[in-house]
Structure 1
Amino acid sequence: MVKHSERYLEFWRERHLCTLTTLRPDGSPHVVPVGVTYDAEAGLARVITSGTSAKARHVGAAGAEGARVAVCQVDGRRWATLEGRARVRTEPDRVAEAVRRYAERYQRTPRPNPARVVLEIEVERTLGNG
């Protein structure tokens, strides 16, 4: 488990729009805005999305090994990046937990989406000054 300052963790609890960077099949970066939640104790970042989205397809194409990704947030001079391996999860309990955490951080429940999946990122490296 990566150790963080309380300031860094608080930054990940505040409401901030983030970016997710995945790699396309040709190796070029695909960067999109997303909501991210970070569970530092579990070492997991979570992104909810439709299973048909490009980001889910990019991650899914990596198979069981997972895809190398990064999520980042910025607020003025404060910034934080989480890097790791992402996997597409479809299990209802995992998706529900990700939706619960999203609603808590972003203070809104996402619209129903029967195609929703969660990209679970096993965080391997953290950067920033959040």
Structure 2
Amino acid sequence: MNPTGIALSAAAREFLTLPRTAAFTTLRPDNTPHVTPVRFTFDASTGLARVTTRAGARKARNVSAGGVAAHVALCQADGFRWITVEGRATVSDDPVRLAEAVDRYTARYRAAPPAPPDLVVVEIAVDRVLSLGL
């Protein structure tokens, strides 16, 4: 178990380092789901997932609305193997947090993420993990 209380198998931790995309689900203001493909990183030691995006992107605006909309899910799949991480999300434009998110993204995907002028990081404090085949 990591310090956040989320237990992950070695296979699940490894799967979350592969350079794959995930479906990122947030809730719109009318409570309908907004699902979009994203690249993300997961820090198993802290239980923190990160998604970089534009501040004006629908996913960032949904999370910024707070309340129920701040509870999000990321699902990465490969054939019949999949893992979903869920938790409360926040949006930050803090330069230190952005730099860490960009560094982690670059390490995972071997290329820097897009860098629009309104770049933010969505940080997800993972409190639930669901998986199959891992």
> TM-score, structure 2 length as denominator?
0.92
Instruction: Output the CA distance in 2 between the equivalents of 1:36 and 1:6.
Output: 19
Residue 104, structure 1, aligned to residue 107, structure 2: yes
CA contact (8 A) 1:66 1:87 kept: no
**How far apart, in 1, do the equivalents of 2:115 and 2:30 lie?**
33
Count of aligned residue pairs for this structure pair: 129
2:72 paired with 1:69: yes
Residues 82-126 of structure 1: per-residue CA shift (max 9 Å, x gap): 000000011001011001111111111123322100000000100
Cα offset, 1:30, TM superposition: 0.2
| 1:66 CA drift (Å) | 7.2
What is the identity, as a one-letter code, of the residue corresponding to 1:102? Y
Q: Unaligned regions of 5+ residues in structure 1, if any?
A: none
**What percent identity do the matched residue pairs reach?**
49
Partner residue, 2:84: 81
Match of 1:33 among 15, 30, 37: 37
**What whole-Å deviation, never above 9, does each CA across 1:44-77 have from its counterpart, x for those lacking one?**
00000000100000001117x9701000000011
Contact 2:47–2:126, Cα closer than 8 Å, also in 1: yes
Q: Which residue of 2 aligns with 1:54?
A: 58
Deviation at 1:43, TM superposition (A): 1.0
Distance in 1 separating the partners of 2:77 and 2:60: 23
Q: Could you say which residue in structure 2 is the equivalent of 1:93?
A: 96
The answer on whether the counterparts of 2:62 and 2:69 sit within 8 Å (CA) in structure 1 is no
Gaps of 5+ in 2: none
